Amino acid sequence: MADRLYAGLPERTKTRERFEMPQAESFFHGHKTIVRNFASILKVINRDRKHLFKFLAKETATSAAIDETNRLVLNGKFTRDQVNRLVSSYITQFVLCPECKKPDTKVVEKQGVRMLKCEACGALSSVKGL
String of b and e for 82-96 (b: at least 16 CB within 10 Å)?
bbbebbeebbeebbb
Could you say which of 72, 96, 97, 116 contacts Zn ion (CB under 5 A)? 97
Amino acid 124 reads L
Query: If binding means CB under 5 A, how many residues of this protein chain bind Zn ion?
Result: 7
Burial of 97 (0-12, 13-18, 19+ CB in 10 A): buried
Nearest to 82 by CA among 10, 129, 27: 27
Should residue 123 be labelled a site residue for Zn ion when binding is judged by CB under 5 A?
Answer: yes
Contact window for Zn ion (CB under 5 A) among 8-16, 32-40, 76-84, 99-107: 99-107
User: What residues between 9 and 38 interact with Zn ion by CB under 5 A?
Assistant: none
Amino acid 102 reads K
Q: Which is nearer to Zn ion, 59 or 99 (CB)?
A: 99
Taking the C-alpha atoms of residue 6 and residue 39, their distance in angstroms, rounded to an integer, is 29
Should residue 100 be labelled a site residue for Zn ion when binding is judged by CB under 5 A?
Answer: yes
Contact window for Zn ion (CB under 5 A) among 4-12, 66-74, 75-83, 115-123: 115-123
Q: Which is nearer to Zn ion, 65 or 120 (CB)?
A: 120
Should residue 95 be labelled a site residue for Zn ion when binding is judged by CB under 5 A?
Answer: no
Q: Which is nearer to Zn ion, 76 or 98 (CB)?
A: 98
Nearest to 103 by CA among 86, 121, 76: 121
Q: Which residues bind Zn ion (CB under 5 A)?
A: 97, 99-100, 118, 120-121, 123
